[in-house]
Structure 1
Amino acid sequence: MQWSILLLAHAGLLFLSIGLAGLFENAVWWLTAAAVYAFASVQIGFLGHDFEHGQVPLPRHWRGTVGSLCWNLLLGVSLRWWRQKHHRHHRHTHIAGSDPDLYSLFAYDRDTARALVGPQRWFVACQAWLFWPVTAFARIYFQWLGMLAAVRLPWRQRVPEVLTLCLHHVLTWAAAWEVLGAQAVWFIAAGQALSGLYMGLAFSTNHLGMPLASESRAGRAWQIAHTRNIRTNRVGAYLLGGLNLQIEHHLYPALDRSAVRAMQPAIERECRAAGIPYRSTGLINALIEVQASLHRVAREAARR
């Protein structure tokens, strides 16, 4: 099955990258190996996302097992925590205060920025410059929040959740330390930071810079106005985990990547015929839009 091949390939690449880092004592080589580590990690996250949505035809109990393998054991992120966060994102897409992917550290509209006081106002005034440095810590932040959530679970759920999360760190650090010695600290830090940046590249362009939603409504069609597609070829779609077709994913979250790609032209035509805003653009232009929206809001905080 294609999903099993992809999972095995990326899991193998994850640990192979640690071995590659030990081939040469060169900072550029270590950084390259860390980039491979980050690439494999985020691709495993994309697969974990697909399993959780039921895009892969697996029995429900197997879906949870494979999901735990991806999130807990290979990534060190609690599946139960991520599941709750991601489901809230789909229910309350791009609603400030309800969508967990709109982190309160940043401001996303001018009225909010004008009302800020104290240290957060100063942070938001610089948020366009701080967004990517902060995003580099995203994977570490997810691991921390996941562990905090795991230790609060009921006993029967807590034990396997915490054990698999700890096992991830033991295996990763043991392998890296065996190959690199004390340099493992720099390799893991670089891999974590590049993972955060890669995740930010994939996820920030889905919704940031689009109009905020005021409330959740019945059905999913209302989410189209707050979601952006990324036009790309099949290689680009693979690198973005199939989430470049974010509009279709929000409309039909259980459809696998190939099915979503096949139905995309028809959905776009239907939206345009019905007068529903359908935003589709290239990756570079989407990143420019995200950065421009952060700048617009930051200027409001800086004026006070």
Structure 2
Amino acid sequence: MAPPRPTTGSDFAILSRRITGAGLMQRRPIYYVARLSVVSLMLIGGWTAFFLIGSSWWQLVTAAFLAVTFTQVALVAHDLAHRQVFRTKRPSEIAGRIAGNLGVGMSYGWWMDKHTRHHNNPNHDDLDPDVAPEVLIWATESALGRRGLKGFITRHQAALFFPLLTLLAIDLKVSSIKALRAGVVKHRKLESALLVLHAIGYLVALFTVLSPLQAIAFLLVHQALFGVYLGMTFAPNHKGMPHPTGAEDYLRKQVLTSRNVRGGWLTDAALGGLNYQIEHHLFPGMPAPNLRKAQPIVEAHCAEIGVAYVQTSLVTSYRQALGYLHEVSAPARAEHAARRAA
């Protein structure tokens, strides 16, 4: 995904010159060789352990390990989509399809289109697909009028947020298939073939090595934990932050809608650098290891121009996101109570 072209004023131009002058937009090939090697070894090691252990309930531990590994593969696909790894489009797309379609069973082309629209208009009620009213509701007006199961989920969405993440991996696969069937993904045949190859290899491995009950348990645990971990890497970034009006310039649109998560090297590794969400949104092509170095420069610049710069702990970020979900669903609870009283 090529970085969006901002129509900026002098505030972003000054910041951009500082970031470029510090060399933070330069590629980091050694870092990505090491990171891709580690993630590849995790993937190979996980599946090797799976075949060596054989039919055993200890395979649920393998499922948990592979859930972590799949998330790390997805985070690598994210960096590939932003051309943080390779400078040009072709190698980025080839590696992205291997990681996304073949590695974790998600359409790289579909996700890249969706993620590009998110970056261009983060938290915009009409233009950001990540806050579109689907299972969860992020705008108060969308919470009203929902009945049945959807209504129940909306009323209790804060409490159900983490349980619903167990379905995220399945949702990504279903959305990928829908996009491919609709013909909205480039290289549709190639991406479809890679997804089919992933599904066949995955299911054949499970039901050949494990007993039917063990295979089903492995699939459920693996996909559920994959969804939870993946969802937890993205949830702290924008949920509960302001929704833009459309009048903001590029810098303010990206900074005001994003939230950073404080932490050390473990947080950086676990979240794939997405804990520096403000810097990532301002400079989406910046290699992940440079985001930490860019953070104090961006924060200082925001202080100079009077733009709020939000940074919290990981736990606080989840608390804020859940609090926002609870607040947004309040009208739905009031509407439901009124219907029951009538």
Is the shorter-chain TM-score for this pair beyond 0.5, marking a shared fold?
yes
Q: Within 5 Å, which residues of 2 pair with 1:51-90?
A: 51-90=80-119
1:184 to 191, 215, 240: 215
Contact 2:280 2:291 in 1 (8 A): yes
Return the index of the structure with the highest Cα Rg: 2
The answer (yes or no) to whether the contact 2:109–2:186 under 8 Å persists in 1 is: no
Partner residue in 1 for 2:198: 168
Match of 1:262 among 274, 284, 293: 293
Q: Decide which of 49, 52, 72 is 1:20's aligned counterpart.
A: 49
Q: 2:334 matched to 1:303?
A: yes
Q: Secondary structure at the match of 1:151?
A: helix
What secondary structure does 1:263 align onto? helix
C-alpha separation in 2, matches of 1:154 and 1:258: 33
Deviation of residue 19 (structure 1)?
4.4
Contact persistence 2:105–2:195 (CA under 8 A): yes
2:257 is equivalent to residue 244 of structure 1: no
- 2:280 partner amino acid: H
Q: How does 1:1-304 map to 2 (within 5 A)?
A: 1-21=30-50, 23=53, 27=57, 29-104=58-133, 105-113=135-143, 115-119=144-148, 120-153=150-183, 157-182=187-212, 183-215=214-246, 217-304=248-335
TM superposition score normalised by structure 1: 0.91
* Cα deviation digits, residues 224-256 of structure 1 (max 9, x gap): 111100001011111101000000000000000
Query: Aligned-pair distance for 1:144?
Result: 1.2
- Once the two structures are overlaid, the 10-residue window that deviates more, 17-26 or 231-240, is 17-26
Looking at structure 1, the residues matched to 200 and 54 of structure 2 have their Cα atoms a distance apart, in angstroms, of 24
Provide the TM-score with structure 2 as the length reference: 0.82
Q: Could you tell me which amino acid in structure 1 is paired with residue 189 of structure 2?
A: V
* 1:120-163 residue CA offsets vs partner (Å, 9 max, x unmatched): 33321111122122211111111111122123338982221110
Moved more, 84-93 or 221-230: 221-230
Distance 1:185 1:48 in 2: 27
Structure 1 distance, partners of 2:104, 2:251, is 30
Give per-residue Cα distances to partners, 1:169-211, cap 9 Å, x unaligned: 1122222233323222211221111011001111011011112
Say which is worse superposed, 214-223 or 236-245, in terms of deviation: 214-223
Select between 104-113 and 139-148 the one with higher mean Cα deviation: 104-113
Structure 1 counterpart of 2:110, one-letter code: W
CA distance in structure 1 between the partners assigned to 2:104 and 2:115 by the alignment? 16
Are the equivalent residues in 1 in contact too, given 2:179–2:185 (CA < 8 A)? no
CA distance in 1, matches of 2:206, 2:37: 20
Distance (Å, rounded) in 2 between the aligned partners of 1:159 and 1:197: 30
Structure 1 residue 71, shift from structure 2 partner: 0.6
- Stretches of structure 2 that go unaligned for 5 or more consecutive residues are 1-29, 336-342
| Secondary structure class of the residue paired with 2:122 | coil
Q: For residues 194 and 68 of structure 1, do their structure 2 counterparts lie closer, same or farther at Cα, with a shift above 3 Å needed?
A: same
CA RMSD of aligned residues (A): 2.2
Q: Indicate if the aligned counterparts of 1:48 and 1:67 stay in contact, CA closer than 8 A.
A: yes
Gaps of 5+ in 1: none
Q: CA deviation at 1:26?
A: 6.1
SS for the counterpart of 1:186 is: helix
> Number of aligned pairs?
302
**Amino-acid identity (%):** 29
Cross-structure match for 2:21: none
Q: Matched residue of 2:250: which SS? A: coil
SS in 2 for 1:198: helix
Question: Offset of 1:49 from its aligned partner?
Answer: 0.7
Question: Cα distance, 1:24 vs. partner?
Answer: 7.7
The answer to whether the 8 A contact 1:11-1:74 is kept is no
